[in-house]
Amino acid sequence: MSNRAIAKVPAGKAYSNANAARLMKDVPSQQIGDEVFGNNVQQAIEKWLKAMIAWKGHKYPFTHDIGELLEAAEKVGLAKPVEVDADLAETLTDYAEKERYESVRRGPPMDRDALSALLDAVASWAESVGVRKG
């Protein structure tokens, strides 16, 4: 299977997670908790990063760690656009595992607008690389 065919699998899943996050963005956190919203944003970003790495012909690391995936993307020549806030993206890593089963997050409700903007920035980055759904 070609690298581009491999990349289409996580890309398709990324679009689904992103669409789920977009649909729940404005739903009050009492109805759809930050952990569910955050998990969908995290999963979309993780899968887009993996798709971009595969698209460039490399194996992506099997990790949920957004920081590690951003580093892997840079190592294969994918320059992160300034619109992709790495610090904000890295805060999502806990939503892949820990926050799904226990509450590790403290502080005010998450900034769904900022995370939606991050989601859109990563989607644009993936599309600029050539990664498309299906």
In the block, tokens 């398709």 appear at 12
In the block, tokens 């890295």 appear at 90
- CA atoms of 18 and 24, how far apart (whole Å): 10
> The tokens of 104 are what?
């590790």
For residue 99, pLDDT over 80 is answered with no
> The tokens of 13 are what?
């899943």
Least confident among 53-62, 71-80, 109-118, 125-134: 125-134
Half-sphere CA count of 107, side-chain side, radius 13 A: 5
For residue 105, pLDDT over 70 is answered with no
Other C-beta atoms closer than 10 Å to the C-beta of 108 total 7
The predicted model scores a pTM of 0.92
- Range list of H helices, the chain: 3-24, 34-55, 66-75, 86-90, 98-101, 112-129
Q: Contact, 6 vs 54, CB < 8 A?
A: yes
Give pLDDT tens digits for 30-65.
999 898 999 999 999 999 999 999 999 999 999 999
